[in-house]
Structure 1
């Protein structure tokens, strides 16, 4: 046996202590430099601004505009106070189907005023209170 193999065997059995300055062959391999990957951190303050669209449709033809805004994830307030009953029903039916397909929500905020919310937006208590100050009452706030 060569002296190098014999030395390795004794080292592995613990019968021989490794000398200072002596190192194993596999220590000769080059180490790759560590390069950290980019972090996938998103700032909480980087939220996109959104607009609230307020529509007062005179007839059913204006419903496509409201649906387009909902598809773009913009909340839409629809005021039907000056719309005849038949067109108002058709508008509400169409937008209810649109908001259902988008997994959004619908709230009545006045006598003939509705807010359609895409799934990325919720109507919280503070906004409900503020709307009540201006004369809008949500269904669950009525007594």
Structure 2
């Protein structure tokens, strides 16, 4: 290969190389599934559904712990009474977004105490 051809190929100005391998579309095709079913499959409970986790975060940096329990399919009771009001507000906003994103629910059950329930858990109020 000449020096000019090497420079042209290096700069990406040369022709496109033909590949011998063929891309197998059938291997990568997936059956169409509505978004709600994909989400339900993704967030399916991997633990005992009767387990409830009580969490009392002291700072906003505890949010990933709450998220992990909730994403694992556990019902979470979050008590933010020990947090300063601005951080408690951020934590509740985080929990609301988490519940919405995972198709769950968030309910206020007492002053600064919230219940985060995954989609498979039914909440009855009277």
Query: 1:43-99: CA deviations, max 9, x gaps?
Result: xxxxx6231110110000111000011111101100011111011011111111111
Report 1 or 2 for greater relative contact order, CA contacts < 8 Å, sequence distance ≥ 6. Answer: 2
Residue 104 (structure 1) aligns with: 104
Aligned residues: 79
SS at match of 1:82: coil
Query: Which of the two has greater strand per residue?
Result: 2
5+ residue gaps, structure 1: 1-47, 126-140
SS at match of 2:110: coil
Please identify runs of 4+ aligned residues in structure 1 that moved more than 2 A.
none
Q: CA deviation at 1:124?
A: 2.1
5+ residue gaps, structure 2: 1-46
Residue 82 (structure 2) aligns with: 82
SS at match of 2:90: helix
Note the aligned Cα RMSD (angstroms).
1.4
Is the radius of gyration larger for structure 1 or structure 2? 1
When normalised by structure 1's length, the TM-score is 0.52
